[in-house]
Amino acid sequence: MSEEPAVIEIRNLHKAYGALEVIKGVDITARKGEVISLIGSSGSGKSTILRCANLLEDSQQGDILFKGEPLKWKGEGLNRRPADPKQVLRIRTNLSMVFQQFNLWAHMSILENVMEAPVTVLGRDKAEAEAAARKYLDKVGIGDKCDVYPAQLSGGQQQRAAIARGLCMEPEALLFDEPTSALDPELEQEVVKVIKDLASEGRTMMIVTHDMKMAADVSDHTVFLHQGLIEEEGAPDTLFGAPKSERLKQFLSSTMAV
């Protein structure tokens, strides 16, 4: 029996902004149930890779496959664009992105925020979407906040609402872009707990994070990026416990110093 195709596969990805090449040929694979963490200093290309995977950014070279299906492109280089808008929408609705800034609608209650996309994008029945939204808000520990507005919640609660919103799309994978970096340490731990719980359920996730402890705890595979390339990658125990490259050693000594 052949192996199930990876949920997300990135091959030889290149991304430039004009003359500035920020991703210089990167391969990353996230199989079903795997948690992949991307670490590295600011400007190393972590968030850009995530945005290319979710088709929020156009890449100039390389392949992006979703469950074995390659994204179709037209044009070349800086003029390269996805060729099929329907394919983009289908793939994007299966890859829920959780951003650093929570991006909740200020004029909607938390419940309305979470059920909005399943109703408007997926065309789900409102009652069905509401039941799912309540379930996921309970799951992230804020089921009692359904009727309040984002401004009435702490940053940690808002980020948990954003995670519930992503889960309510029933995606194939969750993509987290620095999900805790806008939070103070106490609130950060609320969100880390939710992410750990999701990882323990076997959800497919790609996480860009500055939190080395979380990356070490939840990842199946960790990728260290430096200047748009993969400097080192492997199991977290190896990467954090016995780094090979000097650049990774420097990075960990500065980020994990007490």
Mean pLDDT (10-residue bins), the chain, 258 residues: 83 94 96 96 92 94 96 94 94 92 92 94 93 95 96 94 95 94 86 92 94 92 96 95 94 77
Q: Where are the domains of the chain?
A: 8-94+173-255, 107-170
Q: Which CATH architecture has domain 8-94+173-255?
A: 3-Layer(aba) Sandwich (3.40)
Say what the pLDDT of residue 73 is: 97
Say what the pLDDT of residue 2 is: 52
Say what the pLDDT of residue 258 is: 42
Q: How is residue 55 written in tokens?
A: 């088709």
141 CB-near residues (< 8 Å, 6+ apart): 160, 190, 194
Give the Cα separation of 48 and 120 in Å (integer). Answer: 27
Residue whose C-alpha is closest to residue 14's, from 52, 66, 56:
52
